[in-house]
Structure 1
Amino acid sequence: MTSSSQSDFSSRGRVALWAQRNSWRLPRAVRRAAKELMIRGELARADDGLIDDWAKPLVPYDSEAEPSAPDEPPSIPTGALLSSAERHVPSDCVHCLIVTPVLDAGGIDEFVAFLARRLPALAFRVTVMCANTTSPSYVGQLSETLQKEGTTVLVTSPIDGCRWLRANRPDVISAHDPPMWILEAAADARIPVVETLHGIPTPISTDWKHESRRSKFITSFVAVSDFVRRQYLAGNPSFPGHAITTIPNAFNDTHRPLGDRSRARAWLGLKEEFLFLTLGRHTVQKNSYGLVDAFAEVARINPNVHLLIAGRLDDVMYTRQVCVLRDKLPSRARIHLRHSFANPSTLLAAADSFVLNSFFEGWSLACMEALSAGLPVVISEVGGAREQVGTDGSRGFVVANPLGSPEKANWETAGLMRFRPQPNKSELVCAMNAIVAHRHEWSAIRCRLSDSFNEQFNANSCAKRHAEVLLHATLPVCSTKN
């Protein structure tokens, strides 16, 4: 930072951080003034050096020789997933436009990539549209990867996007948190829309006052868990329940080969250390503040335990609060905040357990990847948690939601609780301690856990079910044409 920005941080910045941390008990007028202070100040934008990149290990090397980073898995052309017969897809096959506002490194982004890679094997022609040009950071890692693999990716404005829809008129749209202009343009062009509900609330927020009207633009929904399906119908009871299908998310096992554990740990500088891993965006939803607070208790009892939180930096102000908390702790050198990593399989291979203390999730793909890699999981009670982890302790533990009840979880309630004592802290600490205490038993069954999980949550089955819903959505259009 420059000297002026450092001065800003020491005065206005510290006031803004204090105001954010105590916003739940401040008068509305004071909260508004503090928010304006954060928006105008450099603090909300100064993210340089806030969290670390991957230029250094978690634990310093004890020699001058630095192990090389594990290789990234090569891009797999979409055609490589098809049989020789399927590669000659008829020109009149179903054209599916997959729409998302973000195509970088998040959970929704990964699932969009999953469909883009899998649907061509099921006789679909796929185009991906990133319908958000407000931030260049929303288009990155996965957009580039899909294009290298041969998938057509469009990054478009509302005006150009509407023109493209009129000119190309796909048979069906698979929507993932779509902007309203996409829904309106699809209705004008009489294109059916199947929206996947990745969670309630959506990444932005669900406006229940207007959802009944908005949902009239939707042909059918896919809910990623029964919990999400129930939440949606409770908020929008006018929508027909038979038009919402529950399909748990899967992920691209073809693009996530298991990493080499010895090499991954050597690269991160790990020897006998126990590593808890969180893969998730740095934002309030993922509740890294509450996780760091709980981990401090785990670290006090277990001096060889580390925590790594890796993900896209979405909320600079919130992440500053996490850093302030971390830096006050005796275990601060064992709490690592990093940017997202292009090959999460490397981090999963190095880790001993996965932990996620989110306020809300629909169906965590990061948790799916961890379980697929054979890691024991500690996860808060969010959508899909019990279906993924189970209740018998064979895959880890589901602890209480940090709000006390997952039914109460939304952006507003999470914002009120984000810096307050959370009711699941003691249960979370106990679960993490139990995983550490039995680390050797978990390590011994890692391959067995991976095999059983991958058999239960099959990627091909997930893709086929989505294909069926998309095809069904086109039937009324086809009958109208005929």
Structure 2
Amino acid sequence: MRSSVPHILHVAQPVEGGVARVVTDLVAAQLAAGMRVTVACPQGGMPAEALRGPACTVLRWDATRSPGRRLPGEVRALARLVREVRPDLVHAHSAKAGLAARLAVHGRLPTVFQPHAWSFEAVDGVMAHLTRGWERFGARWATRVLCVSEAERRTGERCGIAAEWRVVPNGVDTHRFRPEGDRASSGAGPLVVCVGRLCRQKGQDVLLAAWPEVVRRVAGARLVLVGDGPDAARLRSGAPASVEFAGATADAAPWYRAADVVVLPSRWEGMALAPLEAMACGRPVVVTDVAGARESLPPGHSPSCLVPPEDPGALARALTALLRDEPLRTALGAQGRAHVLVAHDLRHTTDAVADVYRELLGIAVTPAAPDEGRKCITT
């Protein structure tokens, strides 16, 4: 077994939203465990801002969010960084970084690819066919494909991707995301909060289509959309006065705690962080019945919390029912908090990723905070 300190290179694109938070949390835990860590990502965004300092090297890797004409240059630039950094293992996050990293490394180093939701779920027609074909071909250059839910792995297998799979559910910091005393009434109407990038995947357009029915049935109901993204201007256009656009925030915890209900009407997911963070804060959630979102709920959770995607009527009925039933909201919040503590604590996730590194490197990779109850689902 090698005795040297492992050197991990994380390659990240995008640099905002859930992927950035996952990278930031992993890197922080790995630095605490004594690993050497380098992050390659575009300038700006959460990873570079949160991790810059003497303990972590953040290298600028200029890459767009989607493949395009710049891809060959992005791959060459990343290959140069890999040669200069000389990591022991490369961990690539999301479809774009996974594409570039696997082309740059080409199987010469242990490579972990973490899709954070499959790229082919975001497109249709010819593009979906092409992206599925790439993922089937590119799997040969991923030593492990790390999925955040069993459903994400099953989707990959169903699309013909032959890989060495590991499933490590997303985790959240249950100290940062926690209830804080009794919720005091603001005197305003009941509050629904949606946290997520303003884009087609997250389905805020469906939520806005459902919202007039909620307001008609629940007097004074208010909706806050927390986040920014490419659909911001379109979503703001024509939104009623009962809807507030709060923009992006570095800390969504106060919004979760203020909410009566947290909703995420996604069209697809790997496993979103927002419902986990909301449940960790003791808040009830409503999510769409898509793969990763479904898997994030506690076993036996109320069916009213799970609605079909792209169905404004069902979403309005679910939100209305919860807003009218305070005892149910309280019970669901407590159940969600208990579930996250057991199954989605961040320490479980970081320990499980360390286990994957240990397996690939043959190195003793010590977790930052050992936990005898840690849980890693593998297949």
| TM-score bracket for the superposition, by shorter chain length | 0.7 to 0.9
Preserved CA contact (<8 Å) 2:288 2:294: no
SS at match of 1:98: strand
- The correspondence for 1:168, drawn from 85, 101, 110, is 85
Structure 1 or 2: larger helix share? 1
How many angstroms apart in 1 are the aligned matches of 2:6 and 2:199?
37
Query: Per the alignment, in what secondary structure is the counterpart of residue 354 of structure 2?
Result: helix
Instruction: Work out the CA distance in 1 between the residues paired with 2:103 and 2:296.
Output: 36
SS in 1 for 2:194: strand
Q: Deviations over 1:340-365 (max 9, x none)?
A: 11211111111111101111111011
Q: Report the alpha carbon displacement of residue 125 of structure 1 after superposing the two structures with TM.
A: 2.0
Q: Structure 1 residue 322 and structure 2 residue 230: aligned?
A: no
Structure 1 residues 446 and 377 mapped into 2: Cα distance closer, same or farther (>3 Å)? closer
- CA–CA separation in structure 2 for the residues paired with 1:260 and 1:340: 25
Distance 1:225 1:120 in 2: 25
Matched residue of 1:195: which SS? Answer: strand
Deviation track 1:238-258 (CA, whole Å, cap 9, x = no partner) reads x14xx1111111123354465
Compared with structure 1, are the counterparts of its residues 465 and 444 closer, same or farther at alpha carbon in structure 2 (3 Å cutoff)?
closer
Secondary structure in 1 aligned to 2:250?
coil
Alignment CA distance shift 1:148-1:396 (3 Å): farther
Secondary structure in structure 2 of the residue aligned to 1:153: strand
| Cα displacement (A) at 1:119 | 2.1
Equivalent residue pairs, number: 342
2:261 to 326, 332, 353: 353
* Aligned counterparts of 1:395 and 1:470: Cα–Cα separation in 2: 38
Matched, 1:113 2:24: yes
Instruction: Indicate conservation of the 8 Å contact 2:202/2:264, yes or no.
Output: yes
**Whole-Å separation in 1 of the counterparts to 2:57 and 2:3:** 16
2:137, 2:343 → 1: CA distance? Answer: 37
Distance in 2 (CA, whole Å) between partners of 1:294 and 1:311 is: 19
- Mark the CA change 1:453 to 1:394 in structure 2 (over 3 Å): closer, same or farther: farther
Distance, in Å, in 2 between the alignment partners of 1:386 and 1:436 is 21
Who is 2:374 aligned against? none
Once the two structures are superposed, the pairs formed by residues 259-270 of structure 1 within 5 Å of their partners are 270=186
Residue 94 of structure 2 is aligned to residue 186 of structure 1: no
Q: Which amino acid aligns with 2:19?
A: I
What secondary structure, in the 3-state scheme, does the structure 2 residue paired with 1:167 have?
helix
Deviates further, 211-220 or 92-101: 211-220
Aligned-partner Cα distance in 2 for 1:252–1:162: 33
- 8 Å CA contact 1:361–1:382 kept in 2: the answer is yes
- What pairs with 1:367-382 in structure 2 (closer than 5 Å)? 367-382=275-290
Q: What is the rounded CA distance, in whole Å, between the counterparts of 1:150 and 1:259 in structure 2?
A: 32
For 1:197-276, list aligned pairs within 5 A: 197-201=115-119, 207-237=131-161, 239-240=162-163, 243-256=164-177, 258=179, 270-276=186-192
- Partner secondary structure for residue 235 of structure 2: helix
CA contact (8 A) 1:122 1:464 kept: no
Shift in Å, 1:192: 1.2
What amino acid is aligned across from residue 36 of structure 2 in structure 1? R
* Letter matched to residue 12 of structure 2: T
Whole-angstrom CA distance in 1 between matches of 2:180 and 2:53: 22
Secondary structure of 1:251's counterpart equals coil
Q: Where do 5+ consecutive residues of structure 1 fail to align?
A: 1-89, 327-331, 403-423, 477-482
Q: 2:351 aligns with which of 456, 461, 464?
A: 464
**Match in the other structure for 1:95:** 7
CA–CA distance in structure 2, aligned partners of residues 370 and 175 of structure 1? 27
**Superposition deviation, residue 110 in structure 1:** 0.7
- In the alignment, which residue of structure 1 is the partner of 2:222? 306
CA 1:121/1:358 → structure 2, altered by over 3 Å: closer, same or farther? same
Q: Which residue type is aligned with residue 295 of structure 2?
A: E
The residue type paired with residue 195 of structure 1 is: F
CA distance in 1, matches of 2:264, 2:49: 28
Q: Would you say the 8 A contact 2:93–2:113 is kept in 1?
A: yes
Tell me the SS of whatever aligns to 2:309: coil
Aligned to 1:437: 324
Contact 1:386 1:398 in 2 (8 A): yes
**Which deviates the most, 356-365 or 449-458?**
449-458
Alpha carbons 1:372, 1:450 under 8 Å: kept: yes
User: Of residues 44, 49, 64 in structure 2, which corresponds to 1:144?
Assistant: 49
Shift of residue 214, structure 1, vs aligned partner: 1.9
**Matched residue SS, 1:191:** coil
- 1:354–1:245 distance in 2 versus 1, CA, 3 Å: same
- Rounded to whole Å, the distance in 2 between the matches of 1:333 and 1:351 is 18
Q: Distance in 1 between matches of 2:359 and 2:218?
A: 54
Shift of 1:117: 1.3
Distance 2:158 2:301 in 1: 31
Structure 1 residue aligned with 2:60, among 130, 142, 155? 155
Query: CA separation in 1, counterparts of 2:101 and 2:331?
Result: 49
Other structure's SS at 1:253 match = coil
Kindly state the Cα deviation for residue 385 of structure 1 after the two structures are TM-superposed. Answer: 2.3
Taking structure 1 as the reference length, the TM-score comes to 0.65
The separation in 2 between residues aligned to 1:395 and 1:112, in whole angstroms, is: 32
**Aligned-partner residue type, residue 220 of structure 1:** R
Partner of 1:295: 211
Unpaired runs of 5+ in structure 2?
63-73, 364-379
1:184 to partner: Cα distance: 2.6
- Aligned residues of 2:297 and 2:336 also touching (Cα < 8 A): no
If the length of structure 2 is used for normalisation, what is the TM-score?
A: 0.81
**What displacement does 1:301 show?**
0.9
**Cα distance 1:108–1:167, how it changes in 2: closer, same or farther (>3 A)?**
same
